[in-house]
Amino acid sequence: ADLDTFIARLPKAELHLHIEGSLEPELMFALAQRNGVTIPFASVEEVRAAYSFTRLQDFLDIYYAGADVLRTARDFHDLAAAYFDRTAADGVVHAEIMFDPQTHTARGVSFDTVMEGLLSAVAEAEAKHGMTVKLILCFLRHLSEEEAFATLEQARPWLDRITAVGLDSSELGHPPEKFARVFADARALGLRLVAHAGEEGPPEYVHQALDLLDVDRLDHGNRSLEDPVLTARLARTGMTLTVCPLSNLKLCVVNDMADHPIDHMLRQGLRATINSDDPAYFGGYVADNYRAAAAARGLDRRDLATLARNSFLGSFLPDDAVAAHL
Ligand code: ADE
Ligand code: ZN
């Protein structure tokens, strides 16, 4: 088979996916109509044309605006169901998906509505596609510590169905240390911990995610490579990095895919994985990200298999399930 087919058939886990970032323009329009919500675009083409970003914040402004069409449990169900169908076709057999409850509770949509919609889609996908799914509740780092604590409180009735907490949104100016106490409480509640770090922020933020949050996994982590001691530490400790090539290109974390460091990460012994981040906004789902990285950096079948293997090793599946996937 050719490399594209090899990639599509390679069983893989997706570990870095924001479910709100899987909202395709077609579904955005359909939900706007269903809910009587006005969106600032006249057509699907106009929406896609607006997806041109020079930094993370450009994207976030549009991403939060798009999420306004999500109002009912059925909307969250339809959003997640579309993602599971699409990603199953890409060979994803396990997905750990992030959601941003504060984006919704701030608009008067309850935490419970979000959970009900997502969980019904998870149950459906597990039955329909034979995939497994875990949920990661992300705190928006541009909001306060107090608001994060309030969100963790709202999550309490649902904790048996939430695997981890994460940290996303505007990185610069909002270092991990701001959430050290929230993460300590989440850990005490039995949750696993992840955080975006080193996407736009400096290596110091990665140090903080490790030392002050005690994360189990790093989202992005690209800028770790600027610090050789940090890079060696990540390799030595087997820390998983959830790298997102098309996102990195669209948000100008790299200027060209030809400059993407994915192969350097592998050669330096980092447990790098490939993920889609916000596929509706960045131009591709997980297999597209493998293909783009492979084409730009000359990854071969062995590298692609290593990336897929890393995705299971870095997952929050129990050891027997990880072993069954290797
Ligand atoms: N929210 C959704 N995608 C994100 C990203 N790549 N970085 C930070 N916050 C996000
Ligand atoms: Zn992300």
Ligand 1 test: best mutation among 15, 17, 59, 242, most atoms within 8 Å of CB?
59
Helix (H) or strand (E) holding 140: strand 132-140
| Residue 138 · residue 168 · CB < 8 Å | yes
Q: How many structural domains is the chain composed of?
A: 1
**CA separation for the pair 276, 285 (Å, rounded):** 5
For 82-127, the DSSP string reads HHHHHHHTTTEEEEEEEE-HHHHHTTT--HHHHHHHHHHHHHHHHH
Q: Which amino acid is at 132?
A: T
Helix (H) or strand (E) holding 273: strand 271-274
Examine the pLDDT at 302 and tell me if it is beyond 70. yes
Ligand nearest to the CA of 278: 1
Q: What is the pLDDT of residues 212-240, one digit of tens each?
A: 999 999 999 999 999 999 999 999 999 99
**CA separation for the pair 156, 48 (Å, rounded):** 37
Give the position, in ligand 1's atom list, of the atom nearest the Cα of 244: 6
**CA separation for the pair 307, 297 (Å, rounded):** 14
Give percent above pLDDT 70 in the chain: 100
Name all residues whose Cβ lies below 6 A of ligand 1. Answer: 18, 21, 56, 63, 168-169, 196, 199, 247, 277-278
pLDDT at 80: 99
Residue 116 designated active-site:
no
Residue nearest to atom 1 of ligand 1 (CA): 169
Helices 73-88 and 25-35 cross at an angle (nearest 10°) of 160
Q: Which amino acid is at 87?
A: T
> pTM above the 0.95 mark?
yes
Ligand 1 test: best mutation among 219, 277, 281, most atoms within 8 Å of CB?
277
pLDDT at 86: 98
Which residues fall within 8 angstroms of residue 305, CB to CB, at 6 or more apart? 10
- Compute the CA torsion angle 311, 312, 316, 320 (nearest 10 deg): -170
Q: What is the pLDDT of residues 20-65, one digit of tens each?
A: 999 999 999 999 999 999 998 999 999 999 999 999 999 999 999 9
- How does the average pLDDT of the chain come out, rounded? 97
Give the position, in ligand 1's atom list, of the atom nearest the Cα of 63: 2
Distance 276 CA to ligand 1 centre (A): 11
Examine the pLDDT at 1 and tell me if it is beyond 90. no
**CA separation for the pair 100, 63 (Å, rounded):** 11
Distance 292 CA to ligand 2 centre (A): 18
Structure tokens at 126: 């597990």
For residue 184, give the CATH number of its domain: 3.20.20.140
Average pLDDT of the segment spanning 253-276: 98
| Residue 138 · residue 100 · CB < 8 Å | yes
Q: What is the pLDDT of residues 95-135, one digit of tens each?
A: 999 999 999 999 999 999 999 999 999 999 999 999 999 99
Q: Burial-class residue 57 by CB neighbours within 10 Å (0-12, 13-18, 19+).
A: middle
Query: Residues 20, 96, 171, 199: which is the catalytic one?
Result: 199
Domain interval for residue 185? 3-317+319-323
Reported confidence tier of residue 142, pLDDT bands at 50, 70, 90:
very high
Distance 63 CA to ligand 2 centre (A): 12
